[in-house]
């Protein structure tokens, strides 16, 4: 299964894409790197092969070249605004599948602004971009790209993958944000104040059984959720940990985000932090939990990214990724479902709207 997918605009990105594929293949193995020129099988459907590769949620390296957003048809229309533009389809598929999307700015090409992109690609502008320069390719840029790919769990050929923190460590780290916000004067409802729909919690006067982490909670809405889900929410795990979050909504798009949470003083993160230090990677002191995706009727399908959130430094890197599947309860006050991380951890969660 390909763990690295290279996306590029053929008109000016083919040469750099081929060079990058060769270099990454020598480090991670050729079978780990997907490049359409090398990996599309004769007689296969281009769209099916691309969808299959991205559906496995690889690390998607997107080459930002001058023609990435500026390529035009002979009549002047922008190619990126075509619904079937290959580069657009690859980016949209990566976003929808919850794949890690890593833009690479080739030779100083600036990142496109949201106004330059279709609305389905606006999430791209929120991704941290790395430089990929001809003059600094081997000395500076390629080693940093390789290091970030390794942090995402893709191991070099012949070596084991770096360990990732277990989910319970993530839960305890994020739960610390509750205390920080309480000290800041932000008040959240106690667990007893969370009103769950009958299908999630049973009758109000009954003691509900503890959640089964192996099965997602099912919330059956009496009718499709109405109104905006935007605002403050409290996520509660099966173990009772509570995580304050903020949700932003633009139409059917949802963006869920936590506050930065400190992890360098958490013993459960020590093995992961020691691995980063051995790789001579940048320090990790805080993490940020985000999830983005679409709302359809009473269901939210969100791609999760857990990334570093350093107060100082050049930028963030991804610690883990995954998928959050939620059902929206009546009137949009409660959501419940399952969280699955690509490191293998799974948990049942409930979100309750806060005042």
> 18 with 37: CB under 8 angstroms?
yes
Region 95-113 average pLDDT:
89
Q: How far apart are CA 324 and CA 348, in angstroms?
A: 10
Indicate whether 42 and 112 sit together in one domain. yes
Q: How far apart are the two ends of the chain, measured CA to CA in Å? A: 46
Query: Is the per-residue pLDDT at 285 higher than 60?
Result: yes
Query: Is the per-residue pLDDT at 177 higher than 90?
Result: no
**H or E segment and range at residue 128:** none
Indicate whether 94 and 20 sit together in one domain. yes
Query: Is the per-residue pLDDT at 303 higher than 60?
Result: yes
Indicate whether 118 and 191 sit together in one domain. no
- pLDDT for position 347: 81
Which residues make Cβ contacts (< 8 Å) with residue 110, sequence separation at least 6?
A: 64
Which carries the bigger pLDDT value, residue 64 or residue 318?
A: 64
- pLDDT for position 186: 40
Which carries the bigger pLDDT value, residue 99 or residue 350?
A: 350
- pLDDT for position 195: 35
44: confidence class by pLDDT, cuts 50, 70, 90: very low
Indicate whether 116 and 172 sit together in one domain. no
Give the pairing type, strands 242-250 and 261-262: unpaired
Question: Tens of pLDDT along 209-231?
Answer: 444 444 544 444 333 344 689 99
237: confidence class by pLDDT, cuts 50, 70, 90: confident
- pLDDT for position 2: 60
Indicate whether 21 and 77 sit together in one domain. yes
> 250 with 223: CB under 8 angstroms?
no
Structural domain total, the chain: 2
Which carries the bigger pLDDT value, residue 313 or residue 308?
A: 308
Region 174-200 average pLDDT:
40
On whether the pTM is more than 0.85, the answer is no
> 273 with 264: CB under 8 angstroms?
yes
Indicate whether 258 and 109 sit together in one domain. no
Q: Is 346 exposed, middle or buried (0-12, 13-18, 19+ CB in 10 A)?
A: middle
Is residue 162 situated within a structural domain? Answer: no
Residue that terminates a domain, selected from 102, 127, 151: 151
Question: Tens of pLDDT along 66-93?
Answer: 999 999 999 999 999 998 888 998 888 8
- pLDDT for position 40: 45
- pLDDT for position 203: 35
Q: How far apart are CA 87 and CA 8, in angstroms?
A: 7
Indicate whether 109 and 146 sit together in one domain. yes
3-state SS, residue 34: strand
Which carries the bigger pLDDT value, residue 14 or residue 183?
A: 14
For residue 337, count other CB atoms closer than 10 A to its CB: 24
- pLDDT for position 78: 93
Indicate whether 171 and 137 sit together in one domain. no
The range of the structural domain enclosing residue 23 comes to 4-151
Region 298-312 average pLDDT:
78
Q: What is the largest CA-CA distance in the chain?
A: 69
- pLDDT for position 268: 74
Positions of E strands within the chain:
4-7, 33-34, 59-64, 100-106, 130-132, 231-237, 242-250, 253-258, 261-262, 286-296, 299-308, 318-328, 334-341, 346-353
Question: Tens of pLDDT along 111-131?
Answer: 999 999 999 999 898 888 899
Residue whose C-alpha is closest to residue 285's, from 269, 301, 297:
269
Indicate whether 146 and 242 sit together in one domain. no
Highest mean pLDDT among 10-19, 29-38, 200-209, 292-301: 10-19
Residue that terminates a domain, selected from 151, 176, 206: 151
166: confidence class by pLDDT, cuts 50, 70, 90: low
Indicate whether 19 and 137 sit together in one domain. yes
Indicate whether 198 and 115 sit together in one domain. no
Region 157-181 average pLDDT:
55
- pLDDT for position 210: 44
3-state SS, residue 178: helix
Mind giving me the DSSP string for 223-262? Answer: S---S---EEEEEEETT--EEEEEEEEETTEEEEEEPPEE
Q: What is the DSSP letter of 137?
A: I
Indicate whether 84 and 182 sit together in one domain. no
**Backbone torsions φ then ψ of 58, nearest 5 degrees:** -80, 180
Is residue 160 situated within a structural domain? Answer: no
Angle of the 10-28 helix axis to the 142-151 helix axis, nearest 10:
60
Query: Is the per-residue pLDDT at 265 higher than 60?
Result: yes
> 100 with 91: CB under 8 angstroms?
no
**H or E segment and range at residue 127:** none
Is residue 189 situated within a structural domain? Answer: yes
CA dihedral 278, 279, 281, 286 (to 10 degrees): -60
pLDDT cut 90: percent of the chain above it: 25
Residue whose C-alpha is closest to residue 161's, from 342, 316, 347:
342
Write the CA distances from 254 to 61, 228, 237, 257, 301, integer angstroms.
Answer: 24, 10, 20, 10, 9
> In this structure, what CATH number is given to the domain that contains residue 63?
3.40.50.10140
43: confidence class by pLDDT, cuts 50, 70, 90: very low
Query: How many residues in total does the chain contain?
Result: 355
Please provide the average confidence, as pLDDT, over all residues in the chain. 75
| Tokens representing residue 38 in the block | 């090398």
Query: Is the per-residue pLDDT at 306 higher than 80?
Result: yes
188: confidence class by pLDDT, cuts 50, 70, 90: very low
Query: Is the per-residue pLDDT at 20 higher than 90?
Result: yes
Which carries the bigger pLDDT value, residue 107 or residue 339?
A: 107
């Amino acid at each position: 299964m390909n763990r690295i997918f290279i996306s590029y605009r053929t008109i000016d990105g083919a040469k750099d894409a081929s060079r990058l594929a060769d270099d990454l293949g020598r480090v991670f193995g050729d079978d780990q790197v997907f490049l359409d020129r090398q990996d599309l099988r004769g007689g296969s459907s281009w769209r099916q092969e691309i969808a299959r590769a991205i559906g496995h949620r690889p690390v998607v390296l997107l080459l930002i070249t001058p023609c990435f957003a500026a390529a035009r048809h002979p009549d002047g229309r922008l190619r990126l605004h075509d619904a079937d533009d290959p580069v657009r389809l690859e980016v949209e598929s990566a976003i929808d599948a919850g794949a890690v999307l890593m833009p690479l700015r080739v030779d100083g090409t600036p990142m496109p602004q949201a106004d330059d992109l279709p609305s389905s690609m606006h999430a791209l502008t929120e991704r941290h971009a790395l430089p990929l320069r001809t003059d600094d390719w081997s000395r500076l840029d390629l080693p940093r790209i390789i290091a970030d790919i390794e942090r995402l769990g893709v191991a070099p050929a012949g070596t084991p993958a770096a360990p990732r923190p277990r989910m319970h460590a993530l839960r305890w780290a994020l739960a610390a944000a509750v205390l920080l916000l309480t000290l800041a004067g932000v008040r959240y409802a106690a667990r007893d104040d969370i009103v769950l729909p009958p299908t999630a919690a049973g009758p109000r006067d009954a003691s509900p059984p503890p959640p089964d982490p192996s099965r997602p909670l099912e919330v059956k809405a009496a009718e499709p959720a109405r109104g905006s889900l935007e605002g403050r929410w409290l996520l509660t795990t099966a173990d009772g940990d509570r995580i304050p979050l903020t949700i932003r909504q633009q139409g059917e798009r949802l963006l869920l985000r936590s506050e930065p949470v400190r992890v360098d003083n958490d013993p459960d993160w020590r093995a992961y932090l020691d691995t980063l230090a051995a790789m001579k990677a940048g320090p990790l002191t805080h993490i940020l939990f985000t999830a983005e995706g679409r709302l359809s009727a009473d269901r939210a399908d969100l791609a999760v990214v857990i990334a570093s959130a350093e107060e100082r430094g050049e930028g963030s890197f991804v610690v883990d990724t995954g998928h959050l599947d939620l059902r929206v309860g009546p009137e949009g006050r409660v959501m419940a479902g399952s969280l699955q991380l690509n490191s293998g951890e799974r948990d049942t969660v409930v979100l309750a709207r806060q005042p």
